[in-house]
Amino acid sequence: MKFKRFFVKSITIFFVLIILLVGGCYIYAKLSPKLQINMANKVSFYDSNGELFFKGNEDKEWVSLKDISKKVIDATISVEDKNFYNHNGFDIARILKASYINVKNGKTEQGASTITQQYAKNLFLDFDKTWKRKFKEALYTMRLEANYSKDEILEGYLNTINYGHGVYGIENASKFYFNKSAKDLNLAEASMLVGIPKSPSNYSPLINLDLAKKRQEMVLSLMLDNNKISKKEKEEALNQELSFYGQKNMNNSSTLMYYKDAVINELKSIDSIPSSYIDNHGLKIYTNLDLNAQNELEKSIKEEIPDESKVQVASVMMKPENGRIIALVGGRDYNFSEYNRAVSAKRQVGSTMKPFLYYAALENGFTPSSSFISQKTTFTFNDKEKYSPQNYNEKYANKPISMATAIAYSDNIYAVKTNLFLGSDALINVVKRVGINEKLPDVPSLPLGTKEINIIDMTKGYSAFANLGKKVNPHLIQKIEDNDGKVLYKAKEESEQVLNSSLTFILNNMLTATYDPLYVDYNYPTAISLSSKLKHTYGLKSGTTETDNWHIGFNKDIITSVWVGYDDNTPLQTTEYKYGQNIWFKATEKYEENKDDVWYETPKNVNLVYVDPISGNLVDENAKVKKGVYFLKGSEPTNTQEVFDEKKDIPHEA
């Protein structure tokens, strides 16, 4: 009996507390300042020249409910929230029903967000699924319901919702898809548009017309169930052939929205900027975007990758001296895939990892002439485990080769021997110093790039080479102002010396061997096809795995990184490996067009010495084949270089 009274008392107290909490929240919402909903998502993006390249809901694009087709309104309510006019922001019956179905089926099949809740979510920059964000979203829902009529909330929702392709708001969507105002949409057009926001990358008719039509049919069926249309109207709308416009009034680039989305992603990490657009009454974001560089990068991608191919791409162009990202591509076409691979993806980096190893080697007494024997080898580590790396196309010198040659050919045997000779800590230490924070495994294959790393992080790492040892922080945002012109944020462009500048200079010059004809011997340098095309000097390294292809190249002025591969890790075909190299070459050379060849001045403690390109042995100036290579003074080679295989026992079976 006592337990029963205790239980009843506890339940009563619990519900009283819930009522007090909810009531308190509603009182807080009612007393809070009225939200200026027509300011939601009022954000403008400017390029490095101060020119507007994307804007959210400016006043002239915000349309009142009376200027939106009744068909759009009826379709939206039928699909998203049929009880919209009968609840106070939360549809409790719908929440309970959806929860029951989801629990019963063991997965999330139904959602229960009302239009007011979805609108509150649209007011946030941060869409992370945290309890803090959900609580703030609930408070915004209450504030909206407490201070605005249902018509005003619906108007705000329709003016901020995402209709895909970087298009927000019903008026923008109407003009983008059908080249007409929202008030002029017929039932077929309205039902097609209303179906898109659930998943723009799937239901846009410009991406998948079949899926879009199925979604349209569902929208029309719900309108019929809610007595908004007749069966005849449904059939007529379904059978109407629609013509799609698919153009924006501003920049019609197919990749520019990747840059914009990357800016939003960076914005979320700036603590000095409040979390919602509303609180800021709009934002002006001044970015580092070079629109010419962005367009040329996009053009090179379109020229190289066939339209019918499903290969994807990510690319970053950055100013190495300050970390300003001037161009960014997260996929081939934002209209077909909004997934931003430049920001969100991590891929195996292949041999682009090797320069970090070879810098570590230089720091530990190696020189460009330091040699290992390149031959088919099985390595033994941990006393019992065996590892048998292969060179591309199974080409081996079967003789000692220099470090410069190993870079030119991207020789895997030389890299693994160097890694085992130094110990993996040497490579890992350099990678961390240049700002790549991925946890790297201590395995012999580490320098061959089996670890997955993001392209912006790799660009940051290579910028330390381009800056002769200085680390910078990549960034897209230069300055943020509110709509009154008050500066809320300004980027701090700081650098830190993390590598020896003279050793970095030596490494950079070795990275030009990847396209140097003097290294043609038993094999060809990895980028030899570019030797006659490049008008400027670059340090360049490629990385190739079965599923990933990278090219990262730089000089003092620019660093460009390109990744090519399939989202589902489908192996690349032989012909597809050329895409990345050509994209890198075209975009970078176009950016450097009509500019002087900017390379690095020789440090005072470095000498130029002529050597045999392959062996690294010293030769005189009369030698038939010779290559000028840089060395620290006092470390110049002789004509009988020591082979490191003979200097330290590396467990292997030749």
Dmax over CA atoms of the chain, in Å, equals 108
pLDDT of residue 118: 81
Is pLDDT larger for residue 166 or for residue 159? 159
**Does the predicted model carry a pTM greater than 0.95?**
no
Q: Choosing from 80, 145, 155, 481, which is the catalytic residue?
A: 80
* Reduced 3-state DSSP string for 360-386: HHHHCCCCCCCEEEECCCEEEECCCEE
Which structure tokens are listed for 213?
A: 């039509």
> What is the arithmetic mean of pLDDT over 291-311?
96
- Helices 455-466 and 501-510 cross at an angle (nearest 10°) of 110
Average pLDDT over residues 407-427: 93
Among the listed residues 351, 369, 370, 502, the single catalytic one is: 351
214, pLDDT greater than 50: yes
The pLDDT of residue 156 = 87
Give the Cα separation of 310 and 336 in Å (integer): 11
- H or E element in which residue 103 lies: helix 92-105
Stretch among 5-9, 125-129, 146-150, 156-160 having the lowest mean pLDDT = 125-129
Task: Determine the pLDDT at residue 102.
Answer: 46
Q: Is the pLDDT of residue 189 over 60?
A: yes
Q: What is the pLDDT of residue 7?
A: 55
Per the CB < 8 A criterion, the answer to whether 437 and 457 are in contact is yes
- Kindly report the CATH class assigned to 63-252: mainly alpha
Beta strands in 517-586 (DSSP E): 539-544, 548-554, 559-565
Alpha helices (H) in 447-500, listed in sequence order: 455-466
Residues 587 and 296 sit within 8 Å (Cβ to Cβ): yes
Q: Do domains 63-252 and 325-342+349-649 have the same CATH topology?
A: no
Point out the least confidently predicted range of 129-143, 399-413, 628-642: 129-143
Q: What is the pLDDT of residue 444?
A: 85
More reliable by pLDDT, 489 or 640: 489
Measured in whole angstroms, the distance separating CA 280 from the mean position of its chain's CA atoms is 26
Which residues have CB under 8 Å from 565's CB, separation 6+?
A: 311, 312, 347, 547, 548, 549, 572
CA dist 11 and 17 (Å) reads: 10
Residue 110 has pLDDT above 50, yes or no: no
The DSSP bridge pattern shows strands 371-374 and 627-632 to be unpaired
pLDDT tens string 56-75? 654 447 889 999 999 999 99
pLDDT score at 100: 45
pLDDT single digits (tens) 383-407: 677 888 888 888 999 999 999 999 9
Distances from the Cα of 647 to the Cαs of 216, 347, 644, in angstroms?
Answer: 72, 36, 5
Q: What CATH fold (topology level) applies to the domain 325-342+349-649? A: Beta-lactamase (3.40.710)
Tracing tokens 């190696």 back to the chain, one arrives at 366
Q: How far is CA 402 from the centre of its chain?
A: 36
pLDDT (0 to 100) of residue 279: 47
221 is catalytic: no
What pLDDT does 443 receive?
A: 85
**Domain spans of the chain, in order of start:** 63-252, 325-342+349-649
Q: Given pLDDT bands bounded at 50, 70 and 90, which one contains residue 606? A: very high
Rounded distance between C-alpha atoms, residue 583 and residue 565, angstroms: 13
Q: Which of 336, 107, 325, 87 is nearest to 204 (CA)?
A: 336
Is 527 within 8 Å of 581 (Cβ atoms)?
Answer: yes
Find the helix packing angle between 256-267 and 291-304, rounded to 10°: 130
3-state SS, 567-607, equals CCCCCCCHHHHHHHHHHHHHHHHHHHCCCCCCCCCCCCCEE
C-alpha distances in angstroms, 268 versus 125, 273, 274, 276?
Answer: 7, 8, 9, 10
Closest C-alpha to 455, from 348, 326, 568: 348
Average pLDDT over the chain reads 86
Q: What value does the mean pLDDT take over residues 93-118?
A: 57
Q: What is the pLDDT of residue 417?
A: 93
From the list 424, 379, 350, the residue with the least C-alpha distance to 580 is 350
Higher-pLDDT residue of 273, 347: 347
Rounded mean pLDDT, 542-553: 97
Which residue(s) pair with 543 in the sheet?
550
For residue 231, count CB atoms less than 10 angstroms from its CB and return exposed for 0-12, middle for 13-18, buried for 19 or more: exposed
Looking at residue 162, what is its pLDDT? 87
Reading the block at residue 459, the tokens are: 């660009």
How do residues 223-247 score in pLDDT, each as one tens digit?
999 999 999 999 999 999 999 887 6
Phi, psi (rounded to 5 degrees) for 390: -125, 145
pLDDT, tens digit, for every residue of 126-139?
A: 545 555 566 667 77
For 281: left if phi > 0, alpha if psi spans -120 to 50, otherwise beta; the answer is: left
Q: What is the rounded distance in angstroms from the CA atom of residue 503 to the CA atom of residue 413?
A: 23
Q: Is the pLDDT of residue 23 over 50?
A: yes
- In 3-state terms the chain splits into helix, strand, coil percentages (rounded to 5) of 45, 15, 40
For residues 435 and 296, what is the distance between their CA atoms, to the nearest angstrom? 28
80 catalytic, yes or no? yes
Give the residue, 253 or 404, on which the prediction is more confident: 404
Closest residue by Cα to residue 343 from 396, 429, 265, 399: 265
Grouping H, G, I as helix, E, B as strand and the rest as coil, residue 200 is helix
The band of 1, judged by pLDDT with boundaries at 50, 70 and 90, is low
